[in-house]
Copies of this chain bind each other. A is one copy, B any other.
Amino acid sequence: MSAFLRFTPLIQSLPATVPFVGPEAIERQRGRRIAARIGANESGFGPAGSVLVAIETAASETWKYADPENHDLKHALAAHLGISAANIAIGEGIDGLLGQIVRLVIEPGAPVVTSFGGYPTFNYHVAGHGGRLVATPYVDDREDLEGLLAAVKRENAPLVYFANPDNPMGSWWPAERVVEFAEALPETTLLILDEAYCETAPAGTPPSIESLIDKPNVIRTRTFSKAYGLAGSRVGYALATPGTAQAFDKIRNHFGMNRIGVAAAIAALADQDYLKEVLVRISTSRERIAGIARANGLVPLPSATNFVAVDCGRDAAYARAIVDRLMSDHGIFIRMPGVAPLNRCIRISTGPEGEMDLLAAALPDVLKSLAAA
């Protein structure tokens, strides 16, 4: 295939990968519509009704670029969190922010510490900037804070990624352990504390805002994609010191935010009552998934997120077969972790009861057909 001859050597070395195959692509590949979309940790509960109203209102202004300073959203978040707007950077989802952070810190060859089996999109961005991944194994299905710290020190790494609660396992550390970890890091190591799932975690999981907001080497990333039900709006935010937050302004696409998406995020933040309702539904759905797993002889792992990792008790091929059969035979879209030993599990997102019913009906059938094979 004929391509331009002079892309940079780094670009030429990169594969044209997709960190995740999207559900629409799976539908096209399999020639089958998805009946239960419970694989991407989206929220099938959707956003608040008030958000849909805000979207409709904002629609007539979509001929205007969004405010490149994101003033209103920053100030709404600042008031909500009790910090200054200067502590906040806004981006096109956490994925977008992760790409920017890697670019801010990583030169080709620089070591980047993460967990082996952690968020693939972060790894994608590290590869895209020529960074060298140093991956520490999970211990007991949790990210290993001591292992991450040891790797940082051994490698003199400028960047470490830690998700709390964790994806893909749903596990978590309490706030005090997270703060301890952050404080133990050298000031020349930037911690990305990815809190995409902080809303769904037990109280005492996310450190208080104050405990980390003055540390120039900590960036906390959060999103409207999960509990707030706005994955398609692409609005994430980063919390940091003003000096660290300002670095995003050096490289971000200032006019990159979608105007309707920002309006939706502001409305979602304002509707904390709806968020509370959804959190109950997510919690109930986690229990439902756990019950379905147990009823089928599988072991649900504890979860602080909007999904449940389910230990299928055998190898990756078995878990993969369950994922594949659920989709091929029943149109149920779920995912699974990418590496051993995590990939003995499947990962099921919480969702409306109707989709859980489909799962409950399909899983015994899939397991039976695999046992017979």
Residues of A within 8 A of B (CB): 1-8, 11, 14-25, 28, 37, 40, 42-47, 52, 55-56, 59-69, 71, 92-93, 95-96, 99, 103-107, 121, 128, 158, 187-190, 214, 216-217, 225, 229-234, 241-244, 246-247, 249-251, 253-261, 264
Copy count, this protein chain:
2
Shortest C-beta distance, A324 to chain B (Å), equals 20
- Choose one: B18, B46, B61; the contact of A60 (CB below 8 Å): B46
Let me know if A64 and B258 touch, CB within 8 A.
no
Complex Cα distance, B254 from A22, in Å, reads: 9
Shortest C-beta distance, A368 to chain B (Å), equals 31
Let me know if B216 and A2 touch, CB within 8 A.
yes
Let me know if B62 and A264 touch, CB within 8 A.
yes
Chain B residue with the shortest CB-CB distance to A233: B62
Let me know if B217 and A4 touch, CB within 8 A.
yes
Shortest C-beta distance, A75 to chain B (Å), equals 11
Let me know if B4 and A69 touch, CB within 8 A.
no
Complex Cα distance, B45 from A190, in Å, reads: 46
Complex Cα distance, B129 from A128, in Å, reads: 14
Complex Cα distance, B7 from A241, in Å, reads: 14
Q: Which 8 pairs across A and B sit closest by C-beta, in order of nearness?
A: A3-B243, A232-B259, A1-B243, A24-B67, A258-B258, A16-B249, A62-B232, A14-B250
* Set of chain B residues within 8 Å of A43, measured between Cβ atoms: 63
The residue among A187, A247, A258 with the most chain B CB atoms within 10 A of its own CB is A258
- Choose one: B1, B14, B24, B46; the contact of A242 (CB below 8 Å): B1
Let me know if B44 and A6 touch, CB within 8 A.
no
* Set of chain B residues within 8 Å of A253, measured between Cβ atoms: 92-93, 95-96, 99
Complex Cα distance, B67 from A59, in Å, reads: 21
Let me know if A254 and B18 touch, CB within 8 A.
yes
- Choose one: B95, B246, B257; the contact of A255 (CB below 8 Å): B95
Let me know if B52 and A246 touch, CB within 8 A.
no
Let me know if A261 and B264 touch, CB within 8 A.
no
Shortest C-beta distance, A71 to chain B (Å), equals 6
